[in-house]
Amino acid sequence: MRLRSSFAFIVLPALFLLSAVCVEATEYAIDPEESVFAAVVHKGGVAARFAHNHFIALEKYEAKLSLDGDDVTKTAFSISFAVNDLAPDKDGPRAKWFPRLQEADVLTEAFSPLDDSDRATIKEHMLAPNQLDGAKYPEIKAELVGIEPKSSSWGKREFGYAATMKVTIHGKTVERGFASDISLKDGVLKVEGVARFEFTEFGIPPYSAFLGTVKNKNAFEIYVNLTAKPKE
């Protein structure tokens, strides 16, 4: 009897721990209608009033999002997409996300009206050899490195978490902290984050035209807002 009791005392806790270790993280499906991964590019130069701020979002991407239990600091996220699938300045996404960008002081003025011809020209310039060089560097990717519950601010916004991501653009990888909010409620995972980068960090000179009188600023933001539910 004592041997059996000792066996149960040793083995049962071990089995419990093993089952806990083997539990897989829950994979989440991102809602494309309520989510965005975008870059905000700012106009500059002495003729900036004739230029435009840009909201460059994604239409197609491959993303993986998972959560281990209900601990949001154990969120895993990665995304990759073709440079050619970047969609600059679409009216719908600009209108939908501008209030959030304004609230976070990423932008202070509304986007300028653009037509399809403008967007085509912007994309052509964006993919040029002296910019993103889509022919040589066809992919952009990002990966979440870690999250910690740490207060951070961005403009007037206060965020409850600090997330670190690795972003690869133009063949160069930059690791940066994102001011972030993350929540899990009724099975819905929401992630919002923003960070500032510089084009020159990725070996890209800021776009410039008309002898520099119209150009983009070196600094730009990456803005992430994701809504997701467990995959069925």
Q: Where are the alpha helices (DSSP H) in the chain?
A: 2-22, 91-103, 116-126
Q: Tokens representing 186?
A: 């009724």
Does 14 reside within a domain?
Answer: no
Residue 85 resides in a domain? yes
Does some domain include residue 62?
Answer: yes
Asked, for residue 170, whether it belongs to a domain, the answer is yes
Domain count, the chain: 1
- CATH number assigned to the domain comprising residue 66: 2.40.128.110
On whether residue 25 sits in a domain, the answer given is: no
Output the CA–CA distances (angstroms, integers) from residue 38 to 5, 57, 119, in the order listed: 60, 4, 16
Backbone angles phi, psi at 86, to 5 degrees: -65, 135
Q: Which domain holds residue 119?
A: 30-230
Q: Is residue 191 part of a domain?
A: yes
The answer to whether residue 186 is domain-embedded is: yes
Residue 111 amino acid letter: F
| pLDDT tens sequence for the chain (232 residues) | 444 444 444 444 544 444 444 457 899 999 999 999 999 999 875 444 446 899 999 989 999 999 999 999 999 999 999 999 999 999 999 999 999 999 888 998 899 999 999 999 999 999 999 999 999 999 999 999 999 999 988 888 899 999 999 999 999 999 999 999 999 999 999 999 999 999 999 999 998 875 455 679 999 999 999 999 999 8
Cα separation of 137 and 170, whole Å?
5
Domain assignment of residue 210, yes or no: yes
